[in-house]
Amino acid sequence: MPTSPATATNSSSNGTTQAILLELVDEHGNTIGTAEKLAAHQAPGMLHRAFSVFLFDEHGRLLLQRRALGKYHSPGVWSNTCCGHPYPGEAPFAAAARRTHEELGISPSLLAEAGTVRYNHPDPDSGLVEQEYNHLFVGLVQTPPRPDPDEVGETAFVTPRELQARHAASPFSAWFMTVLDAARPAIRELTGPSGAW
């Protein structure tokens, strides 16, 4: 089922189309309804459920993706391994595994919950707003990415030092540092002290 661009629709078996819906939540992450994807991101934004994935290779390097230029939101910027939205009623863990495979053609060899973070990040370029209750996941990947070019423009495995240099030189998603900082305790537990995360 496609999830971008935001205005995409899904065809049902009877030939009709239906909008992509996101799960709206309250400040505690309790489901309170649904909204169409683009509407949920238009200012001032509606608080909705999301997920962010951070996958690492056997050397403790983080897999980044540069979002495809055709994305409706934050095109062409670098971000974490994968992020997205569960379908209404879909478990965030299942959504994270599904989208990682859809976007990058990989299945994590390990995927673990790493907490949640709530944020409000406007995107000045598009005028869209990320009002998200974000479920964080960390894990390991042992196969090379095979990105879907409609979703991902480029991938890179980086050390903490390489990430710092890339972050200083290239545009990143507005939410990247927020989700990375929130996931750091779980990342450190996964990669160990030698990973320097």
Positions marked catalytic = 83, 132
Contact 171, 156 (CB under 8 A): no
Task: In whole angstroms, give the CA distance from residue 133 to residue 126.
Answer: 21
What sign for the dihedral angle of Cα 96, 97, 99, 100? positive
Task: In whole angstroms, give the CA distance from residue 130 to residue 95.
Answer: 18
Closest CA to 1 of 25, 27, 21: 21
Rounded to 10 degrees, what is the CA torsion of 154, 158, 163, 169?
-40
Question: Whose structure tokens read 């608080």?
Answer: 47
Contact 86, 92 (CB under 8 A): yes
Strand extents, DSSP E, the chain: 9-11, 17-19, 21-25, 31-36, 48-56, 62-67, 78-79, 82-84, 110-122, 129-140, 152-158
